[in-house]
Structure 1
């Protein structure tokens, strides 16, 4: 039986006790090397729960789970559940752990930039002389790098041919930079006299940000008449995965390159995109 844990003892003490509880949880998360974004998200979930129920009990946790399912998408529900599970674990209430809800895996990819549109965008950027963003999208589509990882790439990584990413649990993921991309990038870097440091800089000489990249890609959709639904940073990572699996077929290697914790996550790339499925159905179904 799950024992109850009261975070507040009276209304007068409510604010200070809740704040102390959140501070303790923050310390717990930081001690366990959680990222700043995870800390922020988990604290928000716990604060939301305590604002609704005050007392940690099995019944209240189940009520909170129902509340989440009524108001949020499944991915958000599971994220909040993970946060509360971590919180109860920090209080040594392991028996209070909630089960995740099942999220049905899609059998198709949505909003993935086509190879034709990718090639078209590259040509447009070359024609306009925007080599910075030519290499931004090419690096994403040729390495499978996340946009948050892209902005960390340095000239030294390009020369070496790879960049190692260290995760919070001290695992290493190696991002390979293909020879053709490396040769072209080094030639461009020599032309702009960049011999070290971050590859992708803004006009002020600071590293460009993921938000800046997203904003610029939106402008390209208008400038070059592209579908905004398929032109966003992660779309180029999808393009890499689709091309890799079609050319190589090694899903285990692809999972490692992309940094997926489970190969099941990578299996989505074995399926065609929703656009491809629609085109095939339109072509073959005539009855």
Structure 2
């Protein structure tokens, strides 16, 4: 068992310093590999196909499909590293069937009118602010939500933004996505740009002290959890019963652009998806647009057929 722990430690070090994976990915890998280590104990050969086969069956018994998929992916990456480092002769995954049927969960979105209502409540709170402190909080909250919806960025990407990533002269934002991939998005809406400018002017000193663009009241980096709490608060004020998460803004961004006939490949680049198949799930959500096309634009509507 010491061998597996040793290989795991070497692999995680490789991921951190050579592949430069982020903290959350490393944490997930560590959890998944430790779980495999516990399963194997001292009596099982962790390199054998039979051990892996038994383990994957156990995963299916106790985990949801999405978790199983991630845990298998963690193991596959680990064994690929062992193969790369010449630490095993034959990769057991080469002859192992890990595919399984998985129900496709369509991404949840916020209806257009609900987003409008949500933003209206944000600005109303700013106008009703009774103190400088309340006003500053509202300016920050508006900037956060406007940027989330304007770019479709992940919440982790938003909270990790540095001051230099926001260029309000050229109206662009530099986003560091998964796998250390960078993308630059243009900010095109005047209201979004204005919200960011007002926030930046009000929090200039705090941003300088913190080193991150979005700051909490302790002048520290704004956390994912703070943004989730913020969204819940304004959703309640707006009387929106739907449970809204930061990721739902991302889903809504993609779906609404698709309904405006934006090419899915552009949406893929804006979301930072490495594969088009990840983005294609949004094509199943756009039922309203599909109905409009089939009812109003289908070629059959323009045919004159002689029925005798």
TM range (shorter): 0.7 to 0.9
**231-240 or 97-106, larger mean C-alpha shift:** 97-106
**212-221 or 164-173, larger mean C-alpha shift:** 164-173
Q: Secondary structure at the match of 1:163?
A: strand
Distance (whole Å) between structure 1 residues aligned to residue 203 and residue 62 of structure 2:
52
TM-superposition CA deviations, 1:190-212 (whole Å, max 9, x none): 65263875442211222211111
**143-152 or 89-98, larger mean C-alpha shift:** 89-98
Distance (whole Å) between structure 2 residues aligned to residue 47 and residue 183 of structure 1:
46
Distance (whole Å) between structure 2 residues aligned to residue 62 and residue 194 of structure 1:
55
Does 2:254 match 1:227?
A: no
Q: Number of aligned residue pairs: give it.
A: 262
TM normalised by structure 2 equals: 0.74
Q: Secondary structure at the match of 2:173?
A: strand
Distance (whole Å) between structure 2 residues aligned to residue 120 and residue 155 of structure 1:
29
Task: Tell me which residue corresponds to 2:173.
Answer: 163
Find the partner of 1:87 among 62, 65, 78: 78
Find the partner of 2:14 among 28, 35, 56: 28
Task: Tell me which residue corresponds to 1:238.
Answer: 251
Does 2:236 match 1:250?
A: no
**88-97 or 59-68, larger mean C-alpha shift:** 88-97
Q: Secondary structure at the match of 1:208?
A: coil
Task: Tell me which residue corresponds to 1:67.
Answer: 58
TM normalised by structure 1 equals: 0.79
Judge conservation of contact 1:85–1:96 (CA < 8 Å) in 2: no
Find the partner of 2:118 among 113, 118, 121: 121
1:40 deviates by 1.7
1:75 deviates by 1.6
1:241 deviates by 0.8
Distance (whole Å) between structure 2 residues aligned to residue 182 and residue 22 of structure 1:
45
Distance (whole Å) between structure 2 residues aligned to residue 95 and residue 190 of structure 1:
52
Q: Secondary structure at the match of 1:26?
A: helix
Task: Tell me which residue corresponds to 1:76.
Answer: 67
Find the partner of 1:55 among 45, 64, 70: 45
Does 2:26 match 1:42?
A: no
TM-superposition CA deviations, 1:52-106 (whole Å, max 9, x none): 1242211110001111111111221121112212222333235212444345463
- Report the CA distance shift for 1:132/1:124 in structure 2 as closer, same or farther (over 3 A): same
Distance (whole Å) between structure 1 residues aligned to residue 114 and residue 149 of structure 2:
12
Query: CA RMSD of the aligned region, Å?
Result: 2.9
Structure 2 residue runs of 5 or longer lacking an equivalent are: 127-137, 293-308
Judge conservation of contact 1:112–1:235 (CA < 8 Å) in 2: yes
Task: Tell me which residue corresponds to 1:203.
Answer: 217
Distance (whole Å) between structure 1 residues aligned to residue 177 and residue 203 of structure 2:
32
- Report the CA distance shift for 1:244/1:68 in structure 2 as closer, same or farther (over 3 A): same
Task: Tell me which residue corresponds to 1:173.
Answer: 183
1:20 deviates by 3.0
Judge conservation of contact 1:151–1:200 (CA < 8 Å) in 2: yes
- Report the CA distance shift for 1:99/1:82 in structure 2 as closer, same or farther (over 3 A): farther
